[in-house]
Amino acid sequence: MELNSKKLEQTSRVVYYAISIVLCVFLILLSNRIIGDLDNTTARPYAEFFENKDTLDLLGKDMEKQHAGLESLRSKRETIERTIAIAKSNYTNEKQSFDNWLQTRKTLGSPDKDQEVVSRAKKLDNFYRVEQEWRSELNTLQGKIDAAESKKQEVQKHINHEKAEAYKKHQVALKRYELKVFLIRLAFVAPILALGIFFFVRYRQHKFYPLFFGFTLFSLYAFFFGLVPYLPSYGGYVRYSVGVILTAGLGYYAIKHIRKFIEQKQEELKISTQERAKKIQATTAEKALENHFCPSCGKDFLPYKWEFPTPQAVEANAYKLATNFCRHCGLELFKICSSCGTKNFAHLFFCSSCGAKTIA
């Protein structure tokens, strides 16, 4: 079976990432179970735990009593209102009958001296008096209803006060609970995060780096999804402080290594091209040739089109136009094979034309 190193490298990279991701997933599932069990070590407080049960029970019974009394008074009011409506209807009908009868009597004599007129007028007054008595009863009953409603509102105010006090105590206990849960999670996640950062910094080039990388991914998940959402607020001070610390720490690490890399490259460029050529690895040389950049200074070694106008047929093999030495750092890039005269990349071991060894 023919060995294709480029395909092997790509396949290996896919396998390595798959191992890292699978390991990360199982670690996440395991940590979720552990964190869930850790959270159960402290009981979550609920509002009803802080309510004064005896006082609320007494107030509740009083509220039921006031409600029942109020419903009874309202029922009586409805009965009186129906009675008033009937009395008013009777009075209206009797007055209409009296007016009609009186109009008839005017044509016969003097109605104001007629005893029957007086008798009918007294009867009409009795209907009116009955209606007024029921209205007086209704007004008295309405006063009782207003007093009952006022007392009911007073009882409700006491109930609301008791529940408000319980709510305040619950909020204080809830903050303590959240802080306790956060500290428990922190005690579990902090070592994992520290170990993940250590693995990323120390073992990036290790032969088993996919396992270390999978653990690093898991540590990041544990921090950002297992710890950060449970950070106590306290007006945002804790969250923002953690953000500042993380940004400063990671920023310091990134700036330090970037500066170190730049200084290292600057020091390397001061060394002779022969010494620099000896330190270039085969994988670096392959990537440099594939992406046409100098393996020492990282600059593009292909000439720009405006520098050397060439026909389209020559552009297809542009590497032939590349200079033998880097124009930026002086490193030898291409050299002629001593066996067949083919131009080859100077940092690969064998000639691309005859297979002769080019690097001793």
pLDDT at 32 over 70: yes
Q: Which domain holds residue 240?
A: 233-270
The helix-helix angle for 115-202 and 53-105 (nearest 10°) equals 150
Long-range contacts of 305-309 (CB under 8 A, 24+ apart): none
Residue 311 in domain: yes
What own/partner pairs with CB < 8 Å and gap ≥ 24 does 176-184 have? 177/42, 177/43, 177/44, 177/45, 178/230, 178/232, 179/232, 180/42, 181/39, 181/42, 181/230, 182/227, 182/230, 182/231, 182/232, 184/38, 184/39, 184/41, 184/42
Give the per-residue pLDDT at 234. 60
Q: Examine the domain organization and report whether 240 and 307 are in the same domain.
A: no
Percent of the residues in the chain that have a pLDDT greater than 70, as a whole number: 79
Average pLDDT over residues 113-125: 70
Same domain, 327 and 307: yes
Residues 300, 243 within the same domain? no
Are 134 and 87 within 8 A, CB to CB?
yes
Q: Are residues 62 and 78 located together in one domain of the fold?
A: yes
Instruction: Tell me whether residue 107 is in a domain.
Output: yes
The CATH number of residue 66's host domain is: 1.10.287
Which among 245, 270, 295 is the end of a domain?
270
Q: Is residue 327's pLDDT more than 80?
A: no
Does residue 190 fall inside a structural domain? no
Name the least confident of 61-65, 345-349, 356-360.
356-360
Residue 353, in any domain of the structure: no
pTM: 0.51
Helix 115-202 to helix 5-39 angle (10° resolution) is 130
- Token readout for 161 is 């006060």
Q: Which of 21-35, 98-112, 113-127 has the highest mean pLDDT?
A: 21-35
In a domain, 29, yes or no: no
Tell me, yes or no, whether 132 lies in a domain. yes
**Pair (317, 257) in one structural domain:** no
Q: What is the pLDDT of residues 243-266, one digit of tens each?
A: 788 788 888 888 888 888 777 777
Span 147-189, pLDDT tens digits: 888 888 898 899 899 888 889 988 888 888 888 888 888 888 8
Does a structural domain hold residue 299? Answer: yes
Same domain, 176 and 301: no
pLDDT at position 2, please?
40
- Number of domains observed in the structure of the chain: 3
Residues 266 and 315 in one domain: no
Looking at the structure, tell me whether residues 156 and 134 fall in a common domain: yes
Does one domain contain both 103 and 151? Answer: yes
**Of residues 264 and 317, more confidently modeled:** 264
Same domain, 286 and 249: no
Within-domain flag for 41: no
Whether residues 150 and 93 fall in one domain? yes
pLDDT of res. 22:
93
Please report the pLDDT score of residue 310 as a whole number.
47
Percent residues over pLDDT 90 in the chain: 4
